[in-house]
Structure 1
Amino acid sequence: MSPLLIGLLIFFITTLMLATGMPIAFGLGAVALAFMVFFEGWNSVHFVPETVFAGLTDFTLVSLPMFVIMGAAVASSRAGSDLYEALARWLHRIPGSLVVSNIGACALFSALTGSSPATCAAIGKMGIPEMRKRGYDADLATGAIAAGGTLGILIPPSVTMILYGIASETSIGRLFIAGILPGLLLVALFMAWSIFLSWKRGTRIVDQDRIYTMKEKLELMPRLLPFLAVIVGVVYALYGGIATPSEAAGVGAALCLLMVIVIYRVWKPADLWAILRDGLRESGMLLLIIGTSILFGYMMSSLQVTQSVAEAIADMQVNRWVILAAINLMLLVAGCFLPPAAIILMTTPILMPVITAAGFDPIWFGVILTINMELGLITPPVGLNLFVINGITPDVSLPTILKGALPFMGCMVLAIVILCIFPEIATWLPSKVMG
């Protein structure tokens, strides 16, 4: 059997196995082990422990649990509700102001947590009932939060960016900075659509004529500014060469825990244990996925699948943009069935030789790939954010949530097109800052 046919078989079986709901780490590990034994015999099993543990010795991985705990600390507090309320007061008079406020809150909360489901849950629990109570249609209210939550994997610090950086051996600091302007571009596109649709539907908001005083607008800022300062400080430490990712993440996690205790009085042992427990659970899951994905990549390379795919694409006599379009389509389809972590760790070893051979910047491609992963979070049948929103608002059907999210998917596709036409949006800031 040729390596390309083996690759298709691997993709089909892996997708089928993960679609059954099997944990990602076990699914990847089982497929890798099965193919190694079938094609290379039982002697290949001797390489499994060494390969898995070698993949976990990367010092950069120390930053992963720290960023997870940083997000868990913020998600456990009332920081999300304060962000939402502060933005609602500042943007009250804009058409579609409450939707715009929620998208802004999603963007800021994403920067604090780096988690899309946490952003959807935290902002959605407050924002969706408030929007519906004040006259917004259910599809717009739920779709905006589902799409806004996806910003958690693009706006730094992003766990998804860390995984891509490890898999592609690119600078995590540069990836973080590269995600800033595209993240703001997506926020602007989401807000523009929300304003347009609210204006077109003639949405009349309850209490729209209320005027907030400057004192009311500023009273929540003392609680929020320290958290935003931590995010700015972590990113600055990374791109300024002041600290390594693990050092910056450790300081950021410690400061977020301290501020949650001081500002929001989350000091009870049970509360602190819940933060550490959730952080440990998610970190352990991610590290296990990384270890088995390294084994999966080793199996693909050992069976010559990676090399054959790269050679086949390189030999195609087509424009490099056609290749990129095909890659985007493949990522979009994969995102309909698999979570972002699995896709990144499965496909990056295959795609990186193709991307570099076609002359594309790996940092720029990391942003493109991440936006594709955002699309996967709100596309059925495995759109995680859709199910999170449905769990928050069980009286709103999944088709209604999907209908509201569809225009925001269009905004993401438009963002990819804009980044292809103007790649400097992603590459200018890292080059300016880090050289």
Structure 2
Amino acid sequence: MSELEIGALLFAVTFAVLFSGIPISFGLILVSIGFLYFFGDAGGLSLIPNTFVGELSNFALLTIPLFVLLGCTIGASRAGKDLYDSLHRWMCKIPGGLVIANILGCGLFAAMCGSSPATAAAIGRVGIPEMIRRNVSPRLATGAIAAGGTLGILIPPSLTFIIYGIVTHTSIARLFLAGVVPGLMLVAIFAAYAWGSSYRQLRNNPTQVIESYTLSEKMSGLIRILPFLAIIISVTVVMYGGFATPSEVAAIAAFLALVMVVVVYRTWRLTELWLIMREAVRESCMILMIVAGAAVYAYMMSYLYITQSLAEWMFSWNLGNWELILILNVFLLIAGFFLPAVSIILMSMPVILPVLVHSNIDLVWFAVMMTINLEIGLIHPPLGLNLFVIRGVAPEVPLRDVMMGALPFVGLMLFFIVLLAVFPGIATWLPVTLMGPA
């Protein structure tokens, strides 16, 4: 068999194994061993342990468990409820203010935890029942939280950017900066859609009761979010001021989050801290196992010359940059329906990276586009992960309504990808301004 034929068989077998329900990391390793056994030699098989352990010894991976600990610590507190309450008091008189408050809450929460499911669960658990109780359409309520939750992998700190940076040897700090402006713009676009939808609903129901709060109530609510802002500002100043590496920043952020939940939320009992640590270890081990398994998978593809053959095959198409970007986005969009973002990056970038470099495509800009594309996979029916997270925190809303509520936001994100393609400076302006050309 030729390398391309082996590659086609490899992808078919990989998808079959992953859809069997086996954990992703073990599935990738089993497929790698099987193909090296049948199409490689003993020398290729003997290097698997070194590849597995060698990938985990990468110092840059230290950021992953630390940022995971940050997310688990914030998620274990009443942070979601406090963010929602504080923002709602200021936004209550605006049409759709309740929905906008939840979207802004998702953005702030995402800036601390870096996890989409955690963001959707933390804000949605409090926000969705409150929105529905105040006559917000269940579709808009669940769709807004599902879409707002996706910001967790775009607004730094982002585990997706960390993995992408490690795989492509791109500056993680530069990637974090590149996600700031697109993340804020998506928050604004989601909020504008929520305002428009709620304004139409308000015109059809002019008797709807609008809450009001005194200035002292608004200020007391504002005080609640100061610890969160302190963490965000500390991370921003330390990282982008050049005072610390991403790994050191992750340690600082995790420590500040632990201090906050102990001091502010009185989460100091050993049983409560044990739950936080256990969840952080479980999620970190899962991600690191996927990273190591994908490293073995990438090694197998390179050893069998599949990666090089696929890249050469793509070069032979003589595509322009626009055509190439379109094909890659369609591929990522489809893959995102079935696989988590981390797995897609680890499995696809060894093939895509040589093509991007050959075509002189900015890797930082592509990282942002890729991340937004993978965000769509999190909320696109039928298998979007955030849809099932929302269904879990709001069981009273039928899954069909959750899916229908997410579709308008899918359209908004597709529009933003086109906007990013036409105006790449949306992603590249901030890192170039603060860090200079790459």
Cα deviation, residue 67, structure 1: 0.6
Separation in 1 of the partners of 2:184 and 2:307? 35
Which moved further from structure 2: 220-229 or 368-377? 220-229
Cα deviation, residue 393, structure 1: 2.0
Letter of the aligned partner of 1:305 in structure 2? I
Which moved further from structure 2: 355-364 or 218-227? 218-227
Letter of the aligned partner of 2:72 in structure 1? A
CA contact (8 A) 1:120 1:145 kept: yes
CA contact (8 A) 1:96 1:198 kept: yes
SS at match of 1:51: helix
For residues 207-243 of structure 1, give each alpha carbon's deviation from its aligned partner in whole angstroms, at most 9, with x where no partner exists.
Answer: 7433212211111333322222222222332222211
CA contact (8 A) 1:378 1:384 kept: yes
CA contact (8 A) 1:138 1:400 kept: yes
Which moved further from structure 2: 329-338 or 347-356? 347-356
Which moved further from structure 2: 193-202 or 300-309? 193-202
For residues 251-307 of structure 1, give each alpha carbon's deviation from its aligned partner in whole angstroms, at most 9, with x where no partner exists.
Answer: 111111011100110000001111111111111111111111111110111111111
CA contact (8 A) 2:33 2:45 kept: yes
For residues 44-102 of structure 1, give each alpha carbon's deviation from its aligned partner in whole angstroms, at most 9, with x where no partner exists.
Answer: 22101101111112111111111110111111111110100111111111111111111
Separation in 1 of the partners of 2:292 and 2:150? 25
Separation in 2 of the partners of 1:207 and 1:137? 13
Q: Does 1:26 align with 2:21?
A: no
Aligned to 1:398: 399
Letter of the aligned partner of 1:124 in structure 2? G
What's the TM-score, normalizing by structure 1?
Answer: 0.97
Separation in 1 of the partners of 2:29 and 2:318? 36
Separation in 1 of the partners of 2:92 and 2:206? 10
Separation in 1 of the partners of 2:435 and 2:415? 28
SS at match of 1:220: helix
Cα deviation, residue 348, structure 1: 1.1
Cα deviation, residue 4, structure 1: 1.9
- Equivalences for 1:16-55 in 2 at 5 Å? 16-55=16-55
Cα deviation, residue 20, structure 1: 2.4
CA contact (8 A) 1:153 1:159 kept: yes
The 3 A distance-change label for structure 1 pair 211 and 244 is same
For residues 392-421 of structure 1, give each alpha carbon's deviation from its aligned partner in whole angstroms, at most 9, with x where no partner exists.
Answer: 222322221111000000111111111111
Aligned to 1:196: 196
Aligned to 2:5: 5
- Equivalences for 1:197-346 in 2 at 5 Å? 197-202=197-202, 204=205, 208-346=209-347
Which moved further from structure 2: 74-83 or 200-209? 200-209
For residues 298-318 of structure 1, give each alpha carbon's deviation from its aligned partner in whole angstroms, at most 9, with x where no partner exists.
Answer: 011111111122222222233
Superposed CA RMSD: 1.4
CA contact (8 A) 2:110 2:151 kept: yes
Cα deviation, residue 433, structure 1: 0.7
CA contact (8 A) 1:134 1:206 kept: no
Aligned to 2:150: 150
Count of residue correspondences: 435
What's the TM-score, normalizing by structure 2?
Answer: 0.96
The 3 A distance-change label for structure 1 pair 344 and 405 is same
SS at match of 1:266: coil
SS at match of 1:264: coil
Aligned to 1:77: 77
Separation in 1 of the partners of 2:223 and 2:140? 31
Which moved further from structure 2: 238-247 or 113-122? 238-247
SS at match of 1:22: coil
Letter of the aligned partner of 1:19 in structure 2? F
Which moved further from structure 2: 21-30 or 149-158? 21-30
Separation in 1 of the partners of 2:96 and 2:77? 27
Aligned to 1:367: 368
Q: Does 1:131 align with 2:125?
A: no
Separation in 2 of the partners of 1:30 and 1:302? 16
Letter of the aligned partner of 1:91 in structure 2? M
Letter of the aligned partner of 2:261 in structure 1? V
CA contact (8 A) 1:55 1:291 kept: yes
Cα deviation, residue 206, structure 1: 8.3
Separation in 2 of the partners of 1:61 and 1:140? 38
Aligned to 1:167: 167
CA contact (8 A) 2:153 2:160 kept: yes
CA contact (8 A) 1:157 1:231 kept: no
For residues 94-153 of structure 1, give each alpha carbon's deviation from its aligned partner in whole angstroms, at most 9, with x where no partner exists.
Answer: 111111111111111111111111111111111111111111111111111111111100
Cα deviation, residue 171, structure 1: 0.5
Cα deviation, residue 42, structure 1: 3.6
Separation in 2 of the partners of 1:48 and 1:189? 46
Cα deviation, residue 21, structure 1: 2.1
Cα deviation, residue 195, structure 1: 1.2
Separation in 1 of the partners of 2:179 and 2:329? 18
Q: Does 1:408 align with 2:422?
A: no
Cα deviation, residue 353, structure 1: 1.1
Separation in 2 of the partners of 1:210 and 1:197? 19
SS at match of 1:219: helix
CA contact (8 A) 1:15 1:337 kept: no
Letter of the aligned partner of 1:199 in structure 2? Y
SS at match of 1:210: coil
The 3 A distance-change label for structure 1 pair 206 and 135 is farther
The 3 A distance-change label for structure 1 pair 87 and 302 is same
CA contact (8 A) 1:223 1:263 kept: no
Separation in 2 of the partners of 1:231 and 1:6? 47
Q: Does 1:422 align with 2:423?
A: yes
Which aligned runs of 4 or more in structure 1 are off by greater than 6 angstroms? Answer: none
Percent identity, please: 50
Cα deviation, residue 183, structure 1: 0.4
